[in-house]
């Protein structure tokens, strides 16, 4: 189930249980109370709760709605406007985020949006360069993607020899503007491989934000210079696993209306292993990676 349909189901469930709760509270409950009061007046005795329930029972539907509505309402508010959990399904953000990481996303960071149509009703901010953000995939808006933003509206982004250069806030006319290279310093790597060959690990610095990336020396994808002018209201996103990431270099920019929120921390991290003897299609969690909890850059 995509997050859109889950949001739609959550809104619908909250609305229906809320309506039933309201009808029960303002219509059916007074009728039950009047019936109980009439019986007590006739008998001259006060009914205990069990007797009152037997005489004027609350319907199962109303009872369920009374219990479910406040829970659904709290979940709806938290998930739509404050924080929402997401699972990392691929390795495109290694080494920062691994498959099996569960992250918390701050929904109010990039504006408050109505949960079904995603219409923004309160602008609270926009991404800064170097932040990790969740957004709706422009090619398939029902799907959530997570990448790192390096190009802001009005930037010219240049990709050359597996390094990025930023001409800040000058597009489309950047003549005479000095580009700012996203500085890379190589780090030792003993954890990440592709086809049994080690990947090169670098620390990048952009706008005082530091994070690690991976470069595959065995892959020469996009080995020619490329440049993009980021339109107003759009952002340029890339994965930290640079040679194994489907990002803005391939499908273009992300409009601000597609922003979901800023990734803030890892709240759970599970290591998975494929069980060859199992008929289940999913990977099997083998351990909790406690050392990753709270991480994000």
Query: What does DSSP say about strands 163-167 and 180-181: parallel, antiparallel, or unpaired?
Result: antiparallel
Any alpha helices (H) in the chain, and if so which ranges?
Answer: 3-23, 29-43, 49-55, 60-77, 248-251
Which single residue is written with the structure tokens 């996103």? 237
- Which H/E stretch holds residue 288? strand 284-288
- Which listed residue (107, 136, 147, 162) is catalytic? 147
Positive/negative CA dihedral, 70, 71, 73, 78: positive
92 is catalytic: yes
- Tokens (6 digits) for 65: 């709605």
Closest CA to 240 of 215, 208, 205: 215
Single out the catalytic residue among 92, 245, 248, 269: 92
User: Cβ distance 202 to 213 under 8 Å?
Assistant: yes
- 180 classed as catalytic: no
Active site residues: 92, 147
């Amino acid at each position: 189930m995509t997050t859109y349909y889950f949001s739609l189901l959550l809104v619908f469930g909250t609305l229906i249980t809320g309506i039933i709760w309201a009808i029960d509270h303002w219509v059916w409950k007074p009728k039950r109370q009047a019936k109980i009061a009439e019986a007590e007046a006739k008998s001259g005795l006060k009914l205990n709760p069990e007797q009152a329930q037997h005489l004027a029972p609350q319907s199962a539907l109303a009872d369920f709605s009374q219990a479910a509505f406040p829970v659904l309402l709290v979940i709806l508010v938290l998930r739509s406007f404050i924080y929402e959990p997401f699972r990392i399904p691929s390795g495109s953000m290694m080494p920062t985020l691994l498959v099996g990481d569960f992250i918390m996303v701050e929904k109010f960071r990039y504006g408050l949006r109505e949960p079904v149509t995603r219409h923004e009703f309160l602008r609270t901010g926009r991404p800064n360069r170097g932040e990790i953000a969740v957004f709706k995939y422009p090619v398939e808006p029902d799907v959530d993607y997570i990448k790192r933003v390096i190009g802001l509206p009005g930037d010219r982004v240049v990709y050359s020899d597996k390094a990025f250069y930023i001409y800040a806030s000058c597009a489309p006319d950047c003549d005479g503007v000095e580009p700012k290279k996203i500085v890379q310093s190589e780090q030792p790597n003993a954890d990440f491989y592709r086809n049994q060959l080690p990947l090169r690990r670098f620390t990048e610095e952009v706008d005082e934000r530091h994070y690690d990336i991976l470069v595959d020396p065995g892959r020469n994808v996009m080995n020619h210079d490329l440049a993009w002018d980021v339109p107003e209201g759009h952002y340029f996103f890339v994965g930290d696993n640079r040679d194994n990431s489907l990002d803005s270099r391939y499908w273009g920019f992300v409009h601000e209306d597609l922003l979901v929120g800023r990734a803030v921390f890892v709240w759970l991290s599970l290591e998975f292993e494929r069980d060859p003897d199992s008929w289940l299609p999913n990977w099997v969690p083998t351990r909790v990676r406690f050392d990753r909890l709270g991480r994000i850059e």
